[in-house]
Amino acid sequence: MTSLAQLASHFDLAYEGDGEVDISRVATLSGAQPGEISFLSNRRYLGDLAKTTASAVILAPEFSGKYSGNKLISNQPYVTFAKVAEFFAPHRAKPDGIHPKAHIDATAELADDVSIGAFSVVGADVRIDAGVQIGNRVSIGAGCYIGAGCVIKSGVVIEHDCQLGERVTLHPGVVIGADGFGLARDHDRWLKIPQTGRVIIGADCSVGANTTIDRGAIEDTVLAEDVHLDNQIQIGHNVKIGAHTVIAGCAAVAGSATIGANCLIGGGAGVVGHISVCDGVTIQAMALVTKSIRQPGIYGSVAPLQENSQWRKTAVRIKQLDDIARRLNKIERTTDD
Amino acid sequence: MTSLAQLASHFDLAYEGDGEVDISRVATLSGAQPGEISFLSNRRYLGDLAKTTASAVILAPEFSGKYSGNKLISNQPYVTFAKVAEFFAPHRAKPDGIHPKAHIDATAELADDVSIGAFSVVGADVRIDAGVQIGNRVSIGAGCYIGAGCVIKSGVVIEHDCQLGERVTLHPGVVIGADGFGLARDHDRWLKIPQTGRVIIGADCSVGANTTIDRGAIEDTVLAEDVHLDNQIQIGHNVKIGAHTVIAGCAAVAGSATIGANCLIGGGAGVVGHISVCDGVTIQAMALVTKSIRQPGIYGSVAPLQENSQWRKTAVRIKQLDDIARRLNKIERTTDD
Amino acid sequence: MTSLAQLASHFDLAYEGDGEVDISRVATLSGAQPGEISFLSNRRYLGDLAKTTASAVILAPEFSGKYSGNKLISNQPYVTFAKVAEFFAPHRAKPDGIHPKAHIDATAELADDVSIGAFSVVGADVRIDAGVQIGNRVSIGAGCYIGAGCVIKSGVVIEHDCQLGERVTLHPGVVIGADGFGLARDHDRWLKIPQTGRVIIGADCSVGANTTIDRGAIEDTVLAEDVHLDNQIQIGHNVKIGAHTVIAGCAAVAGSATIGANCLIGGGAGVVGHISVCDGVTIQAMALVTKSIRQPGIYGSVAPLQENSQWRKTAVRIKQLDDIARRLNKIERTTDD
């Protein structure tokens, strides 16, 4: 139990209302019970604020007047919420040491406090730094380097010679360093291009469940620091992604594309191969980037949803568009006469 | 060997033709050999009906006149086919008990007839009910509950504290309960939001290969009963999906979205976060839902495929659309004069 | 170390320049150091050719005049590059035999030189031919056949009774033979259709990381020879894919669709169920094929990306398209008077 006043003091924030109220977990505005603290970071939830039964709410100064209950005032209410949630998060005991049913190659070098789960395999010449936590059934190929503080969840595969910086998190089912998709047409058959590059992941990156990042063909595939990939994403060979870029689920970046820093790529969006996207670009969900983008900004391409009977008419007209435009040109010439 | 008359009797259906003909397996209309029974449930295959060499065909009364061979008459021919296929399906011996190479935590509680394959890991405080079958190389995190009759195939990962209702099937490579994608921008870096909710899956759900369902951020991610997800789907944190909803492959539902009951979400479709889709909605393949849907119906947004030389013209015109509309407005004003 | 003249002789090609220069690895034009050989196969990189510090460049006769440095002349520079890259590729020692921590059913038949990694499971009645390499934590279900020279990477699941031809490569996290998505609506609930077919993969195919290929419902799901699938792809039940077809990442082919030979399916593209695509078809990235295609050619449907303020205007106009077309028709009738 922590009082609101104690929380405010711990995070160096102001509070208003009853500082003695006890807080023991976080909750949403609509789901909060007494003893829980919630937050407002999105105008969309102002209606929930009026009705919340939370014992306190984290909110920005400009919304303070909208709420008469106990509150914690923060210029970054969502960041403060993240920190308070971490403060109250239940922490299971950290796994302990190397499970006897893991298989560690004799040439691997592990720091003293590394933990590795059952049925995990660590290959030859792997180096694992301090504090790394590896789940069950993880494969780490020969020659990999895993930086201090990395967390590798169950079922991950890291192929040979890849490198993770400090504090990288890989969620379950991630595959790092599979061969890129390189084929040359040799008369009537396909010939595989050897994929001899690596995957290099910077510090503080996270990679979502079942996401795949292919190794480079010749050069490396590289994520800079603080890059965050959601689930089910595909990153092709030789791709470079700049620092602080965030990519939502099911997006794909094709081979040899370069994404700048501080970009936001929406869910299901695609970036074709061999192009560049500059820093500070937002791509909307399910949009396709077919040419390099050289100006920061927000870009989209997905048609609005319509009820089917309307959409079928729209779809017919889309196929007529060139004809429509030509007919309009003709009328303009006529009416200009 | 089962005769047509015996099958009809077993499923309480009428037949026409030679009741003595022997049936031993199911087949498609076009591929059927003597001894096999096929079905017609889609007008598209009427041409195949005329030519089939099946020993009998399951069909609806309205198509009975179209076929002079042996037939089993059903008002739900596809459902009857499913039951007949199950009747004839070869069943490999059910796996037997706990494999000596599995790793079961001492605090886990397993019903007597649970089977668990080699190199699977069951964590602390897990409870597994009667008749559950778990494949090879499955990870079940601490505190999970697995309801009676669940089937969990090889390579699945279930993270801590998740719950499966009765008779849930998880296909290979599924990841349940990975952390949702929650990040707060703290000045120039990203701060992770702890993901402290769970995944709760109702009875009779199925989840396809390599599909991922993230745990909630604060609240739980919840699938009601009889929800079916195909392969390669991404379900974000805090999502709620209503009973009897079916989602096709590669679709994605972003965080905190709510999908109603009896919906059909097409392959590759996307639903953005924080919106609601009401009961009884069909979303067509690869459409993107960006706003809440409050009326049942069919919705789409994907442009029709065109041959490239045509499509390139269309694409140019799409970019001119606003200009085209403005020019049309102007002409209307002129010709109205 | 190999001299340029030796390389030329080994691959039966002409060279120009200093035949004595030593080559020890491949590199990109822009990244090459002395001792490395690069290639030009795409006009896009002519600028890099002028500035390269590679010791030699593989290029086509028509570009020979553009470069005064050492060169290897090839009519298929990318194919030659693939072969030279393979020639120089570092090869880690091939894994050796059956790992003592693998679990092989007593009834499985393995050729003498098969290798199998730690914590892999081979089921009953499996047959594995000569030279097959199986990674760590692979599951091969009962009754499967694995042809000579296959390479199966870590974390793959192959369900029962599937067949791989010779020299098939499965990358990490691939799932072969999971149940297809077959459901029949039985009054208010869904009934599962048993999936009793298999997956049959032809010789020289490759399947990318975390790609899923479902088993057939009644018939088999079949890939012909030399088919290449990138990562994160979904292939539904009963699908047939013709020889030499290549499918890029995140694409999906729904159940019972047929794709011809020598097709190229772009990244994120979709093919709906129960249709056919003839030989020699290219589908552009993220396009959706909703009807059978009977003419070879290139097909697309994805709107061009626009800056958001423009795109929002376009999106409004797309919804007005049918109205715009009707108004244009009306004006044409008026001005024709």
Place of tokens 């809440």: B292
Candidates B121, B288, B328; nearest CB to A285:
B288
Please say if the pLDDT value at position B158 is more than 70: yes
Distance from CA of B84 to the nearest CA of A (A): 35
Cross-strand pairs, C118: none
What mean pLDDT comes out for the span B177-188?
Answer: 95
User: What span, in angstroms and rounded, lies between the C-alpha atoms of C306 and C315?
Assistant: 10
Place of tokens 């369902």: B213
Asked whether the domain spanning B156-299 has the same topology as the one spanning B2-88, the reply is no
Tell me, what's the pLDDT at A33? 92
Q: Is A311 on the interface with C (CB under 8 A)?
A: no
Ordered alpha helix ranges (H), chain C: 4-10, 46-51, 77-88, 308-319, 321-336
Contact B218 A172 (CB under 8 A): no
CB-based contacts of B180, cutoff 8 Å, min separation 6: B195, B197, B214, B215, B216, B217, B221, B236, B237, B238, B255
Tell me, what's the pLDDT at B94? 72
Specify whether the CB–CB gap between A178 and C208 falls below 8 A. Answer: yes
Query: pLDDT band at residue B42, thresholds of 50, 70 and 90?
Result: confident
Tell me, what's the pLDDT at A92? 67
What mean pLDDT comes out for the span C25-34?
Answer: 92
Tell me, what's the pLDDT at A336? 65
CB-based contacts of C22, cutoff 8 Å, min separation 6: C1, C2, C3, C35, C55
User: What span, in angstroms and rounded, lies between the C-alpha atoms of B152 and B243?
Assistant: 21
The chains in contact with chain A, meaning 3 or more Cβ pairs closer than 8 Å, are: B, C
Q: Quick count: other Cβ atoms within 10 Å of Cβ A249?
A: 29
Cα separation values, B51 from B33, B62, B66, C219, Å:
12, 19, 12, 18
CB-based contacts of A78, cutoff 8 Å, min separation 6: A39, A41, B184, B193
Specify whether the CB–CB gap between B322 and C309 falls below 8 A. Answer: no
User: What span, in angstroms and rounded, lies between the C-alpha atoms of A192 and A200?
Assistant: 23
Q: What angle do CA A302, A306, A307 make, to 5 degrees?
A: 155
Please say if the pLDDT value at position B336 is more than 70: no
Distance from CA of B4 to the nearest CA of A (A): 43
Listed range (B90-104, C12-26, C71-85) with the worst mean pLDDT: B90-104
Which of residues 272 through 291 in chain C touch A, CB cutoff 8 A?
A: 285-286
ipTM of the complex: 0.95
Q: Which has the closest alpha carbon to C163: C150, C154, C174, C181?
A: C150
Q: Which has the closest alpha carbon to A119: B177, B51, C120, C277?
A: C120
- Look at residue B313 and give its three-state secondary structure: helix
Place of tokens 């296909």: B171
The chains in contact with chain C, meaning 3 or more Cβ pairs closer than 8 Å, are: A, B
- Residue C106 has φ and ψ, to the nearest 5°, of -65, -25
CB-based contacts of C187, cutoff 8 Å, min separation 6: none
If one compares C94 and B63, the residue with the highest pLDDT of the two is: B63
Count Cα atoms within 13 angstroms, Cβ side, for C31.
Answer: 10
Place of tokens 């008469």: A68
Contact A190 C244 (CB under 8 A): yes
Q: How confident is the model over C95-121, as pLDDT tens digits?
A: 779 999 999 999 999 999 999 999 999
Tell me, what's the pLDDT at A44? 84
Distance from CA of C125 to the nearest CA of A (A): 24
pLDDT values of chain A reduced to their tens digit, one per residue, 337 residues: 799 999 999 999 999 999 999 999 999 999 899 999 999 988 888 999 999 999 999 999 999 999 999 999 999 999 999 999 999 987 766 777 999 999 999 999 999 999 999 999 999 999 999 999 999 999 999 999 999 999 999 999 999 999 999 999 999 999 999 999 999 999 999 999 999 999 999 999 999 999 999 999 989 999 999 999 999 999 999 999 999 999 999 999 999 999 999 999 999 999 999 999 999 999 999 999 999 999 999 999 999 999 999 999 999 999 999 999 999 999 888 776 5
Helix (H) or strand (E) holding B36: strand B36-39
SS (H, E, C) C116-138: ECCCCEECCCCEECCCCEECCCC
Which of residues 55 through 84 in chain C touch B, CB cutoff 8 A?
A: none
Place of tokens 């560049």: A276
Place of tokens 């997006």: A251
What mean pLDDT comes out for the span C132-153?
Answer: 98
Is A171 in the active site?
no
Contact A311 B321 (CB under 8 A): no
Quote the tokens at residue C335. 């001005």
Q: CATH: 3.30.70.1400, 3.30.365.10, 3.40.1390.10, 3.90.228.20. Which one for C2-88?
A: 3.40.1390.10
- What distance lies between CA C73 and its chain's CA centroid? 28
Q: Is C268 on the interface with A (CB under 8 A)?
A: yes
Specify whether the CB–CB gap between A198 and A162 falls below 8 A. Answer: yes
- Residue A311 has φ and ψ, to the nearest 5°, of -60, -35
Q: What percent of chain C has pLDDT over 90?
A: 90
Q: Which has the closest alpha carbon to C307: A301, A318, B287?
A: A301
Tell me, what's the pLDDT at B334? 80
Cα separation values, C134 from A175, A300, C142, Å:
17, 43, 16
Which of residues 107 through 126 in chain C touch A, CB cutoff 8 A?
A: 117-119
Q: What rounded mean pLDDT belongs to chain B?
A: 95
Tell me, what's the pLDDT at C337? 55
Quote the tokens at residue A177. 């360093």
Catalytic residue among A10, A103, A187, A237: A237
User: What span, in angstroms and rounded, lies between the C-alpha atoms of C7 and C88?
Assistant: 11
B14-16 and B71-73 strand pairing: antiparallel
Please say if the pLDDT value at position B337 is more than 60: no
User: What span, in angstroms and rounded, lies between the C-alpha atoms of C10 and C77?
Assistant: 15
Candidates C137, C288, C321; nearest CB to B286:
C288
User: What span, in angstroms and rounded, lies between the C-alpha atoms of B231 and B210?
Assistant: 6
Cross-strand pairs, B98: B116
Quote the tokens at residue C109. 């038949």
**Pick among B227, B322, B330 to test the C interface (most C CBs inside 10 A):** B322
Distance from CA of B204 to the nearest CA of A (A): 24
Nearest chain A alpha carbon to C28: A218
Quote the tokens at residue A116. 């590795």
Q: Is B329 on the interface with A (CB under 8 A)?
A: no
Longest dimension (CA), chain A: 90
Cα separation values, B9 from B16, B62, B72, Å:
12, 21, 10
Q: How confident is the model over B236-291, as pLDDT tens digits?
A: 999 999 999 999 999 999 999 999 999 999 999 999 999 999 999 999 999 999 99
| Domain ranges across chain A | 2-88, 156-299, 308-337
Tell me, what's the pLDDT at C92? 67
Q: Is B181 on the interface with A (CB under 8 A)?
A: yes
**Pick among C52, C103, C136 to test the A interface (most A CBs inside 10 A):** C136
User: What span, in angstroms and rounded, lies between the C-alpha atoms of B110 and B103?
Assistant: 13
User: What span, in angstroms and rounded, lies between the C-alpha atoms of A183 and C246?
Assistant: 9
Specify whether the CB–CB gap between C257 and C278 falls below 8 A. Answer: no
Candidates A178, A189, A299; nearest CB to C208:
A178
If one compares A156 and B333, the residue with the highest pLDDT of the two is: A156
Q: How many CB pairs under 8 A join A and B?
A: 217
- Concatenate the DSSP letters of all residues of B88-138 into one string: H---PPPP-SB-TTSEE-TT-EE-TT-EE-TT-EE-TT-EE-TT-EE-SS-
User: What span, in angstroms and rounded, lies between the C-alpha atoms of A29 and A42?
Assistant: 11
- Concatenate the DSSP letters of all residues of B70-87 into one string: -EEE-SSHHHHHHHHHHH
Cross-strand pairs, B281: B297
Contact B299 A305 (CB under 8 A): yes
Nearest chain B alpha carbon to A227: B190
How big is chain B, counted in residues?
Answer: 337
User: What span, in angstroms and rounded, lies between the C-alpha atoms of C301 and C285?
Assistant: 9
User: What span, in angstroms and rounded, lies between the C-alpha atoms of A271 and A280?
Assistant: 15
Best-predicted range by mean pLDDT (A190-199, B43-52, B85-94): A190-199
Rg of the Cα atoms in chain C: 26
Count Cα atoms within 13 angstroms, Cβ side, for C309.
Answer: 1
Rg of the Cα atoms in chain A: 26
In CATH, the number for domain B156-299 is: 2.160.10.10
Tell me, what's the pLDDT at A193? 94
User: What span, in angstroms and rounded, lies between the C-alpha atoms of B136 and C176?
Assistant: 15
How big is chain C, counted in residues?
Answer: 337
- Residue B219 has φ and ψ, to the nearest 5°, of -80, 180
Please say if the pLDDT value at position B63 is more than 60: yes
Tell me which chain A residues have a C-beta less than 8 angstroms from the C-beta of C250. 234, 250, 252, 270
Helix (H) or strand (E) holding B328: helix B321-336
Q: How confident is the model over B200-211, as pLDDT tens digits?
A: 999 999 999 999
Q: Which has the closest alpha carbon to A166: A204, A130, A128?
A: A204
Q: Is A310 on the interface with C (CB under 8 A)?
A: yes
Q: Is C313 on the interface with B (CB under 8 A)?
A: yes
Tell me, what's the pLDDT at C336? 65
